Amino acid sequence: MAACSIEDVLAKAEQDEAEKLKSITVQKELDLEFDIGNLVAYDVNRIDIRQFREQKKDDFLRSLARDNTQLLINEIWKHPTERVEEVIVVKLPEPTTVLPREKPPPKPRPPTKWEEFAKLKGIQKKKKTNLVWDDVAKNELHRLRNIARAQKIKVPGVGLTPTAQQSKTDLVRAVNVAKVSTASAGKFQDRLPKEKAPRNTGKKRKFQPVIGNFSNEKQRQLDLLKVMDSKKPRLDVNKAVNKQMREDDREESAAKFRKGGKKGRKGGNFSGKGKGGKGKGGGGKGRAGGKGQGPPGGKKGAGKPGKR
């Protein structure tokens, strides 16, 4: 029957397996302990002294060694292997026997001056991201350089040459420059519905029109002459007050530093800030009072602002 032959086949297969394994199996009373990390095997089985004496010592030891080594090799072969450059290598685990160290473990080094400074300031180590050279941008840059060389003009600035990562400001600048570079200097370029007007463009200095308000011009010239005539120095109370306060601060902080080192310096800083705040308020008052000479409302913007 089919079932019998299957059983036979299975039995035969088992026999074959046993035959194969016979060559590498070793019978031992107690299992050996292994430390594969160090390639060590510990055999705690009792050694038959009578057998040892009967046989030649060397032969007995050799057969014992063969058995133990076979078991050790069996154990090593159980571990995962990999192929490294045409060589088959077995990955060993960590050694399990604790052996004494050679030297005591290293003591933590005292922090260096920079490390202390960084800790004080709260500076953290920042790893530089690996910047990869962008081929597209490189091509663009070379193309623009060639054009510049051909036409004997300069390569446009960083914002316009395309790079891999362009920040918002770069893009905005590029857009603005593109807008202005039309025949009519961007006067008739429409803006997108939500686009904001470009800031920081336009003239940097404002001059009065050549032929405008005659009375204004006359008044201004006369004032200038009056100031030049007067013998008294013109006192900007705001500026004077701020200058005095700054000097006071400096003196105080120097005195505190001389007194108490770090602590004093920190305290001095705080007091300086406080004084600065008060100074603003004082300056404002001073400004209102001092500038009584010129028209009170008009000159406020033009006059020198107080020290911030």
Partner 1 sequence: MQRRHFPLLSIHVGYFKASAIKHTSEATKMKQKEGVIKPKTKRAKRFLDNRAPKLTENVKNAMIMKGGNTSMTVTQALKDIYSLKKPSAVLYKKKNITRPFEDSTSLEFFSKKTDSSLFLFGSHNKKRPNNLIFGRLFDFHVLDMIELGIEKYRSLSEIKNSKCPEGTKPMLVFAGEAFDHDDDHKRLKSLLTDFFRGPVVPSVRLAGLEHVLHFTALEGKIYMRSYRSLLKKSGCRTPRIELEEIGPSFDFVLRRTHLASDDLYKTAHRQPKALKPKKKKNISHDTFGTKFGRLHMQKQDLAKLQTRKMKGLRKRRGPAAAAAAAGETSPKTAKVEVE
Q: Return residues touching partner 1 (CB under 8 A).
A: 19-21, 23-24, 37-47, 49, 52, 57-58, 61-62, 64-66, 68-70, 72-74, 76-77, 81-82, 84, 87-92, 95, 97-107
Report the residue number, 62 or 259, with the smaller CB distance to partner 1. 62
What minimum distance in Å lies between the beta carbon of 111 and partner 1? 17
Report the alpha-carbon angle 264-268-273, nearest 5: 155
Least Cβ distance, residue 65 to partner 1 (angstroms): 4
Amino acid at 300: K
Nearest distance in Å: CB 8, partner 1 = 21
Please identify, using beta-carbon distances, which residue of 20 and 220 lies nearer to partner 1: 20
Q: Which two tokens stand for residue 306?
A: 């107080």
Nearest alpha carbon to residue 272 among 286, 288, 291, 251: 251
Q: Minimum CB separation from partner 1 for residue 16, in Å?
A: 8
Amino acid at 302: A
Query: Is 23 or 165 the residue whose CB approaches partner 1 more closely?
Result: 23
Contacts of 227 (CB under 8 A, 6+ apart): 234
Closest separation in Å from C-beta 125 to partner 1: 19
CB 197 within 8 A of CB 191: yes
Closer of 20 and 149 to partner 1 (Cβ): 20
Tokens representing 141 are 């840059």
What distance in Å separates the CA atoms of residue 41 and residue 140, rounded to the nearest whole number? 67
Output 73 or 148, the one with its CB closest to partner 1: 73
CA distance 20 to 14: 10
| Minimum separation from the CB atom of position 144 to partner 1 (A) | 45
Q: Are 137 and 162 in contact (CB under 8 A)?
A: yes
Token readout for 151 is 């036409």
Please state, in angstroms and rounded to a whole number, the distance separating the CA atoms of residues 175 and 161: 12
Least Å distance, CB 47 to partner 1, is 6
For residues 73 and 147, which CB has a smaller minimum distance to partner 1 in the complex? Answer: 73
**Length of the chain (residues):** 308
- Alpha-carbon torsion angle 90, 96, 41, 79, nearest 10: -20
Q: What are phi and psi of 175, to 5 degrees?
A: -60, -45
Q: Kindly state the DSSP code that residue 95 receives in the 8-state scheme.
A: -
Considering the complex, state which of residue 51 and residue 269 has its C-beta at the smaller distance from partner 1: 51
- d(CA 174, CA 207) in angstroms, rounded, equals 29
Which residue, 19 or 54, is less far from partner 1 as judged by CB? 19
Q: At its nearest, how many Å lie between partner 1 and the CB of residue 103?
A: 4
Tokens (6 digits) for 5: 């032959």
